[in-house]
Amino acid sequence: MSLHAVENVEEAFSVTREFLTPIDVPRWLKLALIVFFVGSGVSFPTAQFNTSTPPGDASNGDIPFSLPVDVVTLVVVLVGAGLLFGLLFALIGAIMEFVLIESLRTGDVSLRRHWGRRWRQGLRLFGFRIAIGFPLLVLFAGWFALLVVPILTGRDLTIPFTAFLVGIPIVFLISVLYALVSGLTTVFVVPLMIQADSGVLAAWGRLWESIKTAWKQYLAYVVIAFLLTVAAGIIASIAVGIVAIVLLIPVLVVAAITHATVSLSSTAGIVVLIALALLFGLATLVVWTLAQVPVVTYLRYYALLVLGDIEESFDVLVDRRPSTEEP
């Protein structure tokens, strides 16, 4: 039995090259904007806690410090604003998933038209992602609280720490399951939603029936796609790193000139340093996003080709596949 995940590794290169060349700057910029939202991963925030006990009696369960009300209010406002920003970013990213697939399958990169046609399905995808992601966040927060709460309250850590260790494989397995469901939804369910103009659950029902009959093909895709993603990420990181070093040279030159003229510790020097840092960060972000365009395009074309080969009725690239006719 041939594995379509293996066969389409090279074919995806041909389709990607045809889609991205000849290089058209406005087209690439629109793709970069799409990839900025679609290609960004989601990482859980980390926190560091001071485990040392300050002088005084902290064994009565009270938090051994207090914060001014205005500081607490500021923290709440900042957290709320960050949460709203994250939800807005995720919402735009969900709609952009459909904009990307429409662009890949039609060959026409049109933000306004594809957004207008698919934003409702993007809302459904956003809701589905929240539905499967929120329980994981609750689980992660509860697992993390096993250590944090005893530390903050000064309680004995023996039982909570043991429960924390026992929970590691459980949290890991559930996280892997979440990543698998989320990934398959992104690369397979979204195209099926576009094809049938359906919702997430209806598309997942179609995909699940195919997975049950061709599970080896999908398993092969998951493994090879993971390896391709890692390899592409390493190559892109090296390329961006080289460009970043090149961009850093003029930044250091300007910083040296500023230090020689007005001193970096002066107000003018600090302003120049902040401006240089912002410009360097923005330039690096733009370079990174542009570097992700061929990576994301290839990986998505690869998934669409595999999906169409596993189940012919799922093929959304009928008109974009390379011709197999002999010359």
pLDDT averaged per 10 residues, the chain (length 327): 90 94 93 88 34 41 52 84 93 96 94 95 96 92 86 80 89 93 96 96 96 96 95 93 93 86 80 91 94 95 96 88 52
Position 66 scores a pLDDT of 53
Q: What is the pLDDT of residue 319?
A: 75
Structure tokens at 222: 């998951």
Largest CA distance in the chain: 85
**Rounded to the nearest 5°, which phi and psi values hold at 268?**
-65, -40
Q: How confident is the model at residue 68, as a pLDDT?
A: 60
What pLDDT shows up at residue 236?
92
Cβ atoms 151, 51 nearer than 8 A? yes
Q: Residue 60: what pLDDT?
A: 45
Per-residue pLDDT, 59? 43
pLDDT at position 322 is 66
Q: Is residue 308 within 8 Å of 317, Cβ to Cβ? A: yes
pLDDT at residue 320, as a whole number: 73
pLDDT at position 69, please?
58
**Any idea which residue has 């997430």 for tokens?**
200
Q: What is the pLDDT, as a whole number, of residue 67? A: 52
Helix count (H) and strand count (E) of the chain?
A: 9, 0
Contact 38, 316 (CB under 8 A): no
Helices (H), the chain: 4-20, 25-38, 69-106, 111-153, 158-184, 190-196, 200-213, 215-261, 267-310
* Peptide bond preceding 22 in cis form (omega within 30 of 0): yes
